[in-house]
């Protein structure tokens, strides 16, 4: 079967450290399915690039001069709502992670993450909207425990009635399994898993995958991660 070659995922790196940008770009250059199409050294520079460039995923440093990543994130989502944004930082801060996820971040990585983690995060965000890791899961759990009123979207107060298959798939999603991994584990096609994931969103009143994770935690479908 002659499959059409997919276009590589277009990435922009926004970071004021030239050496960090160069290191990430070099490591990603070995991946045929990723292409770094531009670099920016601050948020203002990045937003100007976005006026003329179509990009799939942005690696966005939180701390930059002129315009930092926190101020830039909502502006990216206005200009290019379908672009996925992975926040980069030196700090593991639960309240910051939660705030950024609410502003539209698709993942959160420390700058000490190795190149394979960055690659996996880019691929997963591009294909599945979010890349969850121990940092993001811990922050979402912490947010719920504190009963913080700010949540990514409305969560219905009543508990949805989920069947065994739906509960299993939701639990596996919370364990950071990809659609393909879940499909293999529950012996279904990836397309069926995606359909069940969409049905779960409707049943639980969640607009995003983040909402499903938070629903699972709130209703004790998963325990602490």
Shared domain check, 199 and 122: no
Shared domain check, 175 and 120: no
Shared domain check, 96 and 13: yes
Q: Looking at residue 150, what is its pLDDT?
A: 46
Shared domain check, 156 and 118: no
pTM comes to 0.65
Q: How far is CA 148 from the centre of its chain?
A: 21
Q: Is residue 174 part of a domain?
A: yes
Shared domain check, 61 and 109: yes
Q: Is residue 143 part of a domain?
A: no
Q: Looking at residue 159, what is its pLDDT?
A: 58
What's the number of domains the chain is made of?
A: 2
Shared domain check, 89 and 25: yes
Look up the CATH number of the domain holding residue 198. 1.10.10.10
Q: Show the domain range for 197.
A: 151-218
pLDDT digits (tens, 9 = 90+) for 108-141: 888 888 899 999 999 999 988 888 776 776 666 6
Report which of 163, 223, 174 is spatially closest to residue 196, judged by C-alpha positions.
163
- List Cα–Cα distances, 34 to 4, 83, 112, 123, 136, in angstroms: 16, 15, 20, 8, 24
Shared domain check, 74 and 23: yes
Those residues whose C-beta lies under 8 Å from the C-beta of residue 184, and which sit 6 or more positions away, are none
Q: Are 121 and 135 in contact (CB under 8 A)?
A: no
pLDDT digits (tens, 9 = 90+) for 39-69: 999 999 999 999 999 999 999 999 999 999 9
Q: Is residue 2 part of a domain?
A: no
Report which of 138, 139, 142, 144 is spatially closest to residue 219, judged by C-alpha positions.
144
Residue 148: pLDDT band by 50, 70, 90 thresholds?
very low
Those residues whose C-beta lies under 8 Å from the C-beta of residue 144, and which sit 6 or more positions away, are 214, 217, 218
Q: Is residue 141 part of a domain?
A: no
Shared domain check, 156 and 104: no
Alpha helices for the chain (secondary structure H): 18-28, 43-50, 69-79, 94-103, 115-128, 134-145, 164-174, 179-186, 190-204, 209-218
Shared domain check, 167 and 73: no
Shared domain check, 194 and 91: no
């Amino acid at each position: 079967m002659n499959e059409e070659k997919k276009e590589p995922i277009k990435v922009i790196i926004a970071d004021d450290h030239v050496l960090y940008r160069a290191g990430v770009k070099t490591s990603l250059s070995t991946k045929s399915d990723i292409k770094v199409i531009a670099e920016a050294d601050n948020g203002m520079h990045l937003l100007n690039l976005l006026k003329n460039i179509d990009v799939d995923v942005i690696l966005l440093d939180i701390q930059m001069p002129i315009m930092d990543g926190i101020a830039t994130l909502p502006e990216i989502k206005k200009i290019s709502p379908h672009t996925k944004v992975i926040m980069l930082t030196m700090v593991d801060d639960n309240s910051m992670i939660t705030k950024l996820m609410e502003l539209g971040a698709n993942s959160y990585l420390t700058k000490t993450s190795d190149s394979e983690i960055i690659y996996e995060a880019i691929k997963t965000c591009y294909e599945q909207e979010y890349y969850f890791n121990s940092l993001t899961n811990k922050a979402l759990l912490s947010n719920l425990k504190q009963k913080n009123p700010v949540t990514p979207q409305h969560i219905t107060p009543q508990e949805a009635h989920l069947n065994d298959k739906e509960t299993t798939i939701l639990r596996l999603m919370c364990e950071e399994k990809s659609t393909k991994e879940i499909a293999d584990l529950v012996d279904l096609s990836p397309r069926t898993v995606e359909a069940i994931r969409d049905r779960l969103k409707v049943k639980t009143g969640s607009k995003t995958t983040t909402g499903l994770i938070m629903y699972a935690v709130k209703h004790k479908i998963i325990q602490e991660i």
